[in-house]
Chain A
Amino acid sequence: MSTAITRDYTPGFYEGDRPKLVTSRFEYEDSYTLERYLSTGGYDGLKKALEMGPEAMSGEVKASTLLGRGGAGFPAGVKWGFTPQGVWPRYLVVNGDESEPGTYKDRLLMERDPHQLIEGCLIACYAAGLSQCFLYVRGEMAVAHERLADALNDGYEAGYIGKNIMGTDFSVDVILHWGAGAYVVGEETALIESLEGERGMPRLKPPYFPAAIGLYGQPTIVNNVETLANLPFIAANGSAAFTAIGTETSPGTRMVAISGHVKRPGVYEIVNGTTTFRDIIYGNEFCQGIRDDNELKAFVPGGGSAPWFVSDQLDIPFEGREASAAGSMLGSGAVMVMDSTTDIPEAALTLTRFYAHESCGKCVPCREGGTWLLRILERICSGHGTDADLDQILEVGQSICPGEMPHAASERIGLDATPFPYKMTTICFVGPSAYAPLHSALTLFRDEFEAKVVPAPKRISIPVAVAGS
């Protein structure tokens, strides 16, 4: 009767003997219920937090060096500390607008363990003195909405949310907010604009750093779902238990989605900082190698925006600074693997198309440049490109990301790495993201692009303006 399609795709993220800070309940069918949550230590962290007081709790978060899991990797405790003294009210906005290509973890956390996220939100509000919490969930995640709505309703009913939580003077509402389909809203200032009912167009930083001038112009903490999902563990077990896992600069675990041409794609909670890309792609408890035992051609190390890595970078650990030095970034924890059969320009096209499509239109380099890059790449992939187009891509790119572009080293073509990050003429990262992966693909695999183009007949030159002459 049922269709042959897997409905709730739950790959092997609970296999192996690894610490599970945020996925500990995923093995239960009813992991999303309050009943299961309470029977597995749920809301213990909040209880501990309420006992130790807000200052001590935020001290624990600071001591844990919990890095934001949304992409920028900024320490959450430090971020909370940027709120100006004595300015009230302050808000918490939960960034559940997960849409970075390749990224698939926040949705799981919302669908599979919504109470863990809610508890994390409550701990954050309590510790940082935030008066209201908005859970901004990507619109296209209907199941997450349903699970979170149920969890919130149960939580209110049971006295964990709302007025006088667990009998204390801690009172905060957690409001479930629906997005409506716009990738750029994952950028924190655009998220705030969207939450204010506006078009989700990013604001300029400075002056609009959310911690100072955020939602309704008030101090606002914007945290990613996974970041907040770590708080119940830290509250319940202390920061020392958290920093005992991973490395000093990258403590704890991370959820990483590995997709593409691997044998066992999945979302895995890995130990931060030490696990290498080779472990993830080839390791037995992870992806177990490339499909059909093909050669690895390239992989995206940190979500669609990231410059690509090749086999030369397999032994780099999942650690932000090392990834930057090697010419890319870890971003939102998404690895996309391309095997030797991959048509590189076509693969790059899917990303450039994504970012051009998702441009909000606010700033010119992204709005015009992203689409220009897309048009050129479409022509190349459909056999109508010329060799001049390849240089033109780099020229348009210079208008978006001036100066040297980061890319990985490649022994195959004798290339050294240029470290991350790039400079940009845009407000946010959407514009550069239409270019950075394309640039790295073109740099690492120029031969594949050249194979698709013909020599340019004659340079076409169009005067910029024809009036007044």
Chain B
Amino acid sequence: MSTEESSVTEPVVADGDVSGDVVLDDADSAVTEPEPDPDVVMVTLNGREVAARTGELVIAAAERHDTYIPHFCYHPRMKSVGMCRQCLVEVDTGRGMQLQPSCMITVSPEMKIDTESSTAKRAQEGMIELLLANHPLDCPVCDKGGECPLQDQAFSHGPGESRYIEEKRHYEKPIPISDLVLLDRERCILCDRCTRFADEVAGDKLIQFTQRGNQTQVMTFHDEPFASYFSGNTVQICPVGALTAEPYRFKARPWDLAAEESTCTSCSVGCRVVVQSSRDEILRYQGVDSDPVNHGWLCDRGRFDFEAVNSELRLDDPMVKTDAGLTVTSWNAALTAAQQLISDALGAGGAEAIGILGGARGTNEDAFAWAQLADALGVTYRDAQVGDGLPASILGLDRATIDEAASASTIVLLGPDLKEELPVLYLRLREAATNGGSTLVEFSTVDTGLTQYAAHSIRYQPGLQADAVSDNAELLAGDGSVVVVAGRSNLAESPDETMAALAAVLAANPNAKMLPALRRGNVVGALSVGMAPADPDHDGLATLRAAADGKIDLLVLVGADPLNDCPDVQLARRALAGARRIISIDTHPSESTKHADVVLAAAAYGEKRGTTTNIEGRVSTLVDKVTTTGTARPDWMIAAELSLMLDLEGGLAQVTSVEEVTSAIAAQVPGFSGVTLEALATDRNGVLAEVVPALLAPVTRRAGQRNSYDHRLVVSRKLYDRAVGTAMSHSIAKLAPGAGAHLHPLDVDALGANSGSDVQLIGERATAILPVVANSAVPRGIVWAPFNQGGAVEDLIDGNAAVIDLKIEVL
């Protein structure tokens, strides 16, 4: 057995505070008799005296002191259940040695622990033999073989052979329990990890033990699959091959996988992952236990959207528009064409005629390089957001870390449904509310994933969020710590409304800290390193408006797809039509790349090194696990080459490696001075950039009351939509729920409609036809529609409007 080998399955605790020796060193170095530390308990472990922490489980204390106790059901991030009995050791608390499960016993002063006595060993060997009695031993065809805790521990702590000659239990071989996960009950050892995860961590109680005794099995209800956004975690923590994930099944053997740690950029939580590849293809991500961030968990989109990197539809090579349409060409030719477009635009309308959008999908280095290029050119129309977030000025507020949010007395939710947009942040805050004693106060238009855990969930009509906050100011005052999670809860409502609500929270409690719930992978990083607009008149929407008005000669889309990303899709369409020239730097073909004059194939996640910044401002490293597809290049390199070709002052014309860009960020970007290569190499959890204080710009609120015969529109994201990462990953693409107009069941009745029938949503701009869905999570008078699901709801959104009111008619 090597615990190293299973370190991926057994999440690595990357808590900087893990070393148990620290305390001992302190005690040793003290000259005088030190005050006894109330947090330290001295115990005897296999004959040597070691320091444990008060309240620490024996199994954890032993492992910190390099004594591995075999186990299956114990998991440091979940409650102990003492089910598998594998971790039995002999413990003496003054009444003689007794066999005890080390996952259930906490250390006590002068406790003696023997993990290797003949009694302990016999018990451990006995458990392995019993666990293997009904295990099929189909290791040669099992995905887990080679990284299987049961297999490993059978070798390290087992008796060496089985004496079981009776017939084994038989079940139907793997049965799908969701679209992503299969269950082989013959392999299952009933450790309660997956079921505990579903209950305790995810809150999706969709898998349970059923039957009893020798017939016990994990099961879903007959027609309710394990449709959890977090189902992949159960596969990772399964200590046998009972749970396997569809995207990885039979793809590789563990010993063929090369692995490196990185950070997930599917959203901006910044979960630490291990990227695993074989034959230069990414095959799997596994969660890494980063104590301040993800605790080892990943959402299923983050876990499985590597398929998009491997997609056959990737842009392999640069293209330029010819009479025959977009045509593959050489990098030299493409870059020369791009350089020409930039020079032309500068010549025709000056830097004011150039807009640069994007950066949120790439690395800090990508965004910084393009921001440097923009600076050198004097481009002011730039933004990492396209009307889908909040003004960058919120990043100047006193920022909370995820840990601070998860330990706050009161957590105020102004943002979107975190379960849909920042799933692992949802897990952290859900835990804070269920176990941590935090009070959740939610202001939302519709029920969200956290509603059931909120002490107060306050509904408001779009446009009235700030009033709802002011009306409940007493919930936000008080002495305890308050963290407000702020994001864009409604894409069909002006962000000014959320900003006003945020201001109202800070008015009610000036000490409140803020955690931004901006979704796109590196949006905080991009905004921080220079891709933020200087003022609202040059932000993403303003850039698109200028383009639509014919004022933009060249629009550069750096991993930006306004036709999919911008809520005001009509504006995006007019902008792409109105911009005279377009350069698109992207990984996949999109609606927007079709309009481009030059398409530069970009390296994707997993193909380029660099750093990313999460919502807290935590900068962590990304790894280039596989070589880029085709001739694609990282965005920063493209910017650097163009700088060189344009012979720009400053800029990054001279850089030759991404590390130089990282160092340049540390040297030049305010707040990033601590984010050095050395610091990043030291702490795998990353380095927190400092907040550069800024004031919130005052906003004007414009929303009026809704007419009683109208419905007010709420548009927000689901985890799975038609964005590239999901749409290009076949395993999860099918999980997008599809377009629909969700109404309260009584509103559906009032319209005389039936769930599933089409209705017309009639707005000032357009009319959209969508199937109606009766949904009691939606209050009366509101119509909620998921964003970017292929319907026409985006046509109704006007980026200028405070709110969108609609009439609904049955077709």
**A residues whose Cβ falls under 8 Å from a Cβ of B:** 182, 199, 204, 206-207, 356-365, 367-372, 375-376, 379, 392, 395, 398-399, 402-403, 423, 425-427, 460-468
Contact = CB atoms under 8 A, between A and B. Distances in A.
B139 A359 contact: no
B651 interface: no
Contacts of B130: 364-365, 368-369, 372, 399
10 contacts: A364-B130, A368-B131, A371-B213, A371-B214, A372-B130, A399-B129, A426-B85, A461-B161, A464-B132, A467-B139
B166 A423 contact: no
Contacts of B590: none
Contacts of B216: 361, 367
Given A360-B213, A462-B161, A468-B146, 9 more contacts: A204-B101, A358-B213, A359-B212, A372-B164, A402-B99, A402-B122, A425-B88, A464-B132, A467-B145
B196 to A, nearest CB: 13
A194 B150 CA distance: 31
Contacts of A360: 212-213
Contacts of B139: 465-468
B662 interface: no
Interface of B: 81-86, 88, 98-99, 101, 104-105, 119, 122-123, 126-134, 137, 139-140, 142, 145-146, 151, 154-155, 158-167, 189-190, 209, 211-216
Contact of A465 (B99, B104, B105, B155): B155
B167 to A, nearest CB: 8
A365 B161 contact: no
B126 A425 contact: yes
A427 B131 CA distance: 16
A365 B166 CA distance: 16
Contacts of B158: 464-465
A206 B127 contact: no
B347 to A, nearest CB: 67
Contact of B140 (A364, A371, A403, A467): A467
Contacts of B128: 464
B165 A361 contact: no
B188 to A, nearest CB: 11
B495 to A, nearest CB: 44
Contacts of A425: 85, 88, 99, 123, 126-127
B82 A427 contact: yes
B133 A372 contact: yes
B621 to A, nearest CB: 32
B617 to A, nearest CB: 39
A346 to B, nearest CB: 19
A381 B134 CA distance: 22
B137 A370 contact: no
Given A368-B130, A423-B99, A425-B126, A465 B212 contact: no
A333 B155 CA distance: 46
Given A206-B104, A357-B213, A361-B212, A460 B165 contact: yes
Nearest to A467: B139
Contact of A399 (B82, B127, B215): B127
For the complex of A and B, the 10 pairs showing the least CB-CB separation, nearest first, are A467-B139, A399-B126, A361-B216, A359-B213, A375-B166, A368-B130, A467-B145, A371-B214, A204-B82, A361-B213
Given A361-B209, A368-B134, A371-B214, A402 B161 contact: no
Contacts of A426: 85
A178 to B, nearest CB: 18
Contacts of B159: 464
A416 to B, nearest CB: 23
Contacts of A376: 166
Contacts of A461: 161, 163
A375 B559 CA distance: 64
A402 B212 contact: no
Contacts of B122: 398-399, 402
A370 B145 CA distance: 28
A8 B155 CA distance: 59
Contacts of B165: 460, 462
Nearest to A426: B85
A444 B209 CA distance: 39
B190 A361 contact: yes
Given A361-B209, A398-B122, A398-B126, A462 B151 contact: no
Contacts of B119: 402-403
Contacts of B105: 206
Contacts of B151: 465, 467-468
B126 A367 contact: no
Nearest to A355: B213
Contacts of A361: 190, 209, 211-216
A465 B240 CA distance: 13
A390 to B, nearest CB: 13
Contacts of A204: 81-82, 101, 104
A392 B133 CA distance: 13
Nearest to A371: B214
A372 B166 contact: yes
A386 to B, nearest CB: 10
A368 B214 contact: yes
A402 B86 CA distance: 14
A299 B190 CA distance: 37
Most chain B CB neighbours (cut-off 10 Å) among A199, A375, A398, A464: A464
A398 B130 CA distance: 11
A137 B211 CA distance: 21
Contacts of A375: 166-167
A364 B213 contact: no
Contact of A468 (B86, B129, B145): B145
A365 B190 contact: no
Nearest to B189: A364
Most chain A CB neighbours (cut-off 10 Å) among B101, B129, B140, B213: B213
Nearest to A423: B99
Contacts of B81: 204, 362
Nearest to A357: B213
Given A375-B166, A402-B122, A367 B214 contact: yes
A376 B142 CA distance: 29
B99 A363 contact: no
A199 B211 CA distance: 9
A377 to B, nearest CB: 11
A464 B162 contact: yes
Contacts of B211: 361
A214 B128 CA distance: 32
B154 A464 contact: yes
A368 B83 contact: no
A465 B214 contact: no
A369 B126 CA distance: 10
A372 B158 CA distance: 18
Given A204-B82, A356-B214, A369-B130, A466 B137 contact: yes
Contacts of A403: 119
Contacts of A359: 212-214
Given A363-B85, A368-B133, A399-B123, A199 B166 contact: no
B256 to A, nearest CB: 13
Contacts of A467: 139-140, 142, 145-146, 151
Nearest to A358: B213
Given A367-B190, A369-B130, A468-B139, A182 B212 contact: yes
A460 B85 CA distance: 27
A199 B199 CA distance: 14
A465 B137 contact: yes
Most chain B CB neighbours (cut-off 10 Å) among A357, A359, A371: A371
B214 A365 contact: no
A213 to B, nearest CB: 13
A455 B436 CA distance: 62
A206 B80 CA distance: 12
Nearest to B159: A464
Contacts of A356: 213-214
B140 A466 contact: yes
Contacts of B88: 425
Contacts of B146: 467-468
